Amino acid sequence: MVAQWIACRTLNLMIVSVLNLVSKDNDELQREEQRKTRDVDMYLNRPQICRLPLKTLSSLCVSFSGCGFLGSYHFGAVDCLLKNGQHIISRLDRTSGASAGSLVASLLLLAPQHSKRACKVLFELGDELSTLRFGALTPGYCLNEKLIKIVDTFLPIDISPAQGRLFISLTKQKERTNYMVSRYSSREHLIQCLLASCYIPLYSSGYAGEAPVVDGFSCFDGGYTNNLPDFEDIRTITISPFSGFAEISPLDENYFDWKMTVSNQIMNVNLQNIVRGAQALFPPSLDVIENYYELGFKDTFRFLMKNDILQREEGTAV
């Protein structure tokens, strides 16, 4: 009897194990199917040039979404591109961005060598804000003044490489329409455009603050009208820490495939993105901000692998 019981028990365990394996395989198949569907939908919703293989193109654009203090994700992506994405860097003809994404876009084009230093400054600023009771809304705190110092520190004196190549998304305050700037009369003009793209009424400089003026227009956060610039005339690689249709973005596992368009960017409707939205304005702990950097690096590495363009700085394939 004991031998029979052991045999039956062993058989049951084997059946359960097989069923678990089948279940795991089915789950993985479902996830893979979701990824394929996502990729198809993503390219159907974008300019036709985006359907061409990256390896066949000689001119590329990298676009960074607005994301507040989740900009550490963008820095992770940039560092991965600089280290492993020479196929893209050597063909980089344009960068673009909204809000915090515009800062990273300008850095990638004008001063990529300062990427790690700038990321460290972002870590420090986020850590400083996380200790304040009301974050950037703390009375007497002016985030805009901090950004002016940071931008001025890292932008080079010569901004000529930005002419016609750096596209910054702004929002005209009166008309509530998008205003894309790509020509700069001076270094100060460029800095003003970057500050305007990042400017959030009340949040950036308190109740009495006024929106920056660019080309005669009062402008604020470019993410309000176009959070992730895309282009018809050049293959654009889109990057965002919010999961959705950006090519480099987190792969969240969703129970429901719900999407919504927010300021020209298609995002997943899920709890993870809701949390990210809150963290963008009210930075989490330093550990969490650093984790976003690692996630940006990892997601970019996966993108390079998927498109068969993983190539290190010295030119040797990995």
CA–CA separation, 258 and 197 (whole Å): 29
Amino acid in position 34:
Q
63 is catalytic: no
Tokens 């058989």: give the residue. 11
Type of residue found at 280: A
User: Greatest CA separation found in the chain?
Assistant: 92
Q: How far apart are CA 271 and CA 294, in angstroms?
A: 20
∠ at Cα 35 (29, 39), nearest 5°?
145
Candidates 96, 115, 221, 249; catalytic one: 221
The sign of the torsion formed by the CA atoms of 108, 110, 113, 117 equals: negative
Question: Whose CA is closest to 189, among 205, 156, 172, 213?
Answer: 213
Backbone angles phi, psi at 247, to 5 degrees: -65, -40
222 vs 214: CA distance, rounded Å: 12
The answer to whether 187 and 226 have CB atoms below 8 angstroms apart is no
φ/ψ of 189, rounded to 5, equals -65, -45
Question: Quick one: which H or E segment has residue 93?
Answer: strand 92-98
Catalytic residue among 65, 99, 102, 243: 99
What's the full length of the chain, in residues? 318
Active site residue 221: yes
Q: How many CA atoms lie within 13 A of 272 on its CB side?
A: 15
Instruction: Indicate which residues carry an active-site annotation.
Output: 99, 221
